[in-house]
Amino acid sequence: MTEEPRHLRYGRPMSEWIKLVANELPIDAVGLWQIVPGGRRGFGLEGDALTDYVRRCIAELLSRGAVPVVGGGETGYYWIAQTQYGSQPDEIVENVVREWLANGATDEDPGGLWFALPRMCETRWK
Amino acid sequence: MSAARARALVREVQRHDPNWRPTPSLYEGVEGEILANESAAVQATARLRELSRAEPVRGPMEEILMPNGQHVGMRYRNTDGRTRTVTLSEFNNLLEALAPGSQIVQSPVGYRGFWYRRPDGSIFGVRRSEAHGITIDVIRYDHLDIPNGYKVHQQ
């Protein structure tokens, strides 16, 4: 039996780490720019292993009720839901991962996709 | 952020010239406050030049966000340890430590705040966040303990 990968710095098993990543949802959105470097640097992943990690993180976030969003910028909203990725979790995961791979599987930055609880999309800051 | 930089600069001048004070500015509203902070920062920078002192730049991010090898503040509940919460006063101290020498750089359209590049090339963001007022994001810093995506929220 193959042992589950552990975080290179904190020693946590990957499945546990993925849950910890999603635990941030009640206070802030979680961005692809956090997820991807987390897999790359935190677990030393690349290629299919990194893609699988990204897929699992997104699935966990969606299972907690999160939706894909981008920052609201000057619109007055904190977050704007991105419904073009679909409505079912599997569909959203595949579409997000396909787009990320098509864009070169980069580390992303905070101008890209995040995942937030729907209530966060209803809140205005101005 | 402008206030943090101004405070750090004024404090540095007063380390060498304890009686020095920037000329106060009258201001109104947020924009006016930013301008007043900029004015204080410019005056302090000029005074530092007169004193032949450079703007103090703190060390790398891990020295600021992990003083004595310990992450600042507290980990939020069961998050992965890269999301910290600190008190308002600790938050202001962090901004004062990060701000000197930093230059504002272009941030993406959706980002509700500003990005700053430190003299060592690392980039951090300061953004308005829903639950915590203001959040510091580590945008670019390739360090195992302070990776991209490291966040510090106000309590």
pLDDT at A11 over 80: yes
DSSP characters for A45-100? --HHHHHHHHHHHHHHHHHTT-EEEEE-GGGSBSEEE-GGG-SSHHHHHHHHHHHH
pLDDT at B112 over 80: yes
Q: How far does A17 lie from chain B, in Å, by closest CA?
A: 7
pLDDT value at residue B93: 87
pLDDT value at residue B50: 82
Hey, are the CB atoms on B149 and A31 less than 8 Å from each other?
yes
From A34, A41, A109, residue closest to B144, measured CB to CB: A41
**Residue B116 to residue B112: CA distance in whole angstroms:** 13
pLDDT value at residue A62: 98
Hey, are the CB atoms on B76 and A31 less than 8 Å from each other?
no
**Residue B64 to residue B146: CA distance in whole angstroms:** 10
Hey, are the CB atoms on A27 and B108 less than 8 Å from each other?
no
B54 close to B13: Cβ distance less than 8 angstroms? no
Q: How far does B45 lie from chain A, in Å, by closest CA?
A: 32
Which among B105, B126, B148 is the top mutation candidate for probing chain A, defined by the most A β-carbons within 10 Å of its own β-carbon? B148
pLDDT value at residue B31: 65
User: B81: which 2 tokens?
Assistant: 């340890």
**Residue B83 to residue B109: CA distance in whole angstroms:** 24
Summarised one tens digit per residue, pLDDT across range B54-85 is 777 778 999 999 998 899 999 877 888 888 99
Domain ranges of chain B: 2-50, 61-154
User: Could you report the predicted ipTM of this complex, rounded to two decimals?
Assistant: 0.85
The pTM of the full predicted model, rounded to 2 decimals, is 0.82
**Residue A103 to residue A115: CA distance in whole angstroms:** 18
Average pLDDT over every residue of A34-51: 95
